[in-house]
Amino acid sequence: MTQLTIAPILFHWSAEQKLDFYSRIADEAPVDVVYLGEVICSKRTPFFEKHYDTVAERLTRAGKKVVFSTLSEVMLKRERNMIAGFCDLEDYELEINDSSALWHLEGKAFRIGSLMNVYNEDTMRFLASRGATHFSLPSELPATSVGILAQTAQELGAGCEIQVFGRASLALSARCYHARAHNRIKDNCQFVCENDPDGMPLNTLDQQEFLTINGIQTLSQSYVNLLGELETMTRMGISHFRLVPHTQDMVAVARIFRDTLDGKTAVEQAQHRLAALNIPAPFSNGFWHGQAGHKWVESARV
C-alpha cells in the first residue's frame, strides 16, 4: 500500500505557526507518516523542542506514524549531543540526515533521510547492513536511477521514498548565506531566516528568479511536482511519497496527491487542482526526466 508522508519543516517558522500546521495535519490531512525535527540549523531547535512530545502524541492519536528527523549538518559539540539524544529515542523511529548518527545507532533500526545522499546500490546495501530499513532518495535522481534503487530496496526488504512536491534541496554549506546576505555572521544571525517562511529568493544579476536560500541550505526556486509520475513510481516499487511543507495549504496538497494515488482523480484534473492553489513559483520535474531540474516536461501530463 502506498503511503503519503510530510517531510520535516525546512524553514524557520514560529512555534505558533508550527503548532497550527501540525494540528491541521493531524485533524485534516490524509497522510500516513509525519517527520518531526529540525534538520537545517541547530540554533532553531530551542524554539520548538518543548512541543515535540505534545505534537507527536496528537499526531499519533490521529493515526499518523511519527518519525523524528536529525540535523543534516553536525559540526559543534552541542550538535553532536543533540544527535546522541535523538538516537536514544525508543518510542519513535528515527530518520538520520548525517552519517555522524551511525556512531550511536549500533544494533538499532533507522531511516535514511533525503539529505543524506544515497546515489547507488552499494551505499544502500552498506547502510542497510548497519540497520537502515527505509530510504528517502535525493530529489535530483532521474527515473532510471530511482528504478534501480527502488528494486534494490525491495531486495533488502526496505521502504523507498521520494519527494513529489515542494522545493528541492540542492546543497548544504557550512556557512549561512541567509545571514551573510543581511551582513550578519552565522553566530549572530538574529534569526533573519524567519523573515522568509518559504525561503529567500536568489535572483541573477538580470533579476531573474534562480534559487531559494534557507539558512545553510540552497533550494530550487521551482516546486517539484511529480503528480504525473505517481503511477510509474508505484510500479517501480516506491512505497512512500513525500510532501515538503510550505506556507501554502498543505492539507489541500495532501488531498490532491492522495486522491491521485488512490485513483479517485485523474492526473490532468489533479494538476488543475494543484495549479488552483496559486503556488507562487513554477512547477518542475526536470530531474526525474534526466534534464535540468528547473524544467517542466509536458509529456509527464497524462
Average pLDDT over residues 247-270: 97
pLDDT tens, position by position, 228-257: 999 999 999 999 999 999 999 999 999 999
Neighbouring residues of 276: CB distance < 8 A, sequence distance ≥ 6: none
- Are 69 and 37 in contact by the 8 Å Cβ rule? The answer is yes
State residue 89's pLDDT score: 79
Tell me if 119 sits within 8 A of 145, measured CB to CB: yes
Give which of 165, 267, 269, 268 is closest to 226, Cα–Cα: 165
How many percent of the chain have pLDDT more than 90?
Answer: 81
Cα 208 to Cα 182, 199, 202, 225, 258: the distances in Å are: 20, 16, 9, 21, 34
How much is the average pLDDT of 171-180?
Answer: 91
pLDDT of 70:
94
Mean pLDDT of 23-33: 98
Q: What is the CA radius of gyration of the chain?
A: 18
What's the rounded Cα separation, in Å, for the pair 154 and 66?
23
Among the ranges given (115-124, 153-162, 188-197, 219-228), the one the predictor scored with the smallest mean pLDDT:
188-197
Q: What is the pLDDT of residue 127?
A: 97
Task: Check pLDDT > 50 for residue 302.
Answer: no
DSSP-derived pairing of the beta strands 93-96 and 240-243: unpaired
* pLDDT at residue 301 in the model: 43
Amino acid 169: pLDDT: 97
All three cell numbers of 288, joined, read 526525474
User: Residue 28's CB: how many other CB atoms inside 10 A?
Assistant: 15
Name the average pLDDT for the chain: 94
Of the candidates 71, 63, 77, the one whose C-alpha atom is nearest the C-alpha of residue 8 is 71
Inform me whether the pLDDT recorded for 159 exceeds 50.
Answer: yes
Measured CA to CA, the distance from residue 10 to residue 163 in angstroms comes to: 14
Mean pLDDT, to the nearest integer, of 202-210?
Answer: 89
pLDDT over threshold 50, residue 300: no
For the segment 285-290, the average pLDDT, to the nearest whole number, is 96
CA distance 32 to 242: 10
Cβ burial, residue 278 (10 Å; 0-12/13-18/19+): exposed
Mean pLDDT to the nearest integer, 162-186:
92
For residues 72-80, give the mean pLDDT.
87
CATH of domain 3-167+223-300: 3.20.20.70
**Angle at which helices 121-129 and 143-156 cross, to 10°:** 30
Contact (Cβ atoms closer than 8 angstroms) between residue 96 and residue 110: yes
What DSSP designation does 205 have?
Answer: T
pLDDT band of 90, cuts 50, 70, 90: confident
Select, from the ranges 66-80, 88-102, 149-163, the one with the highest average predicted confidence (pLDDT). Answer: 149-163
How many Å apart are CA 224 and CA 294, to the nearest integer? 8
Handedness of CA 169, 175, 176, 177 (dihedral sign): negative
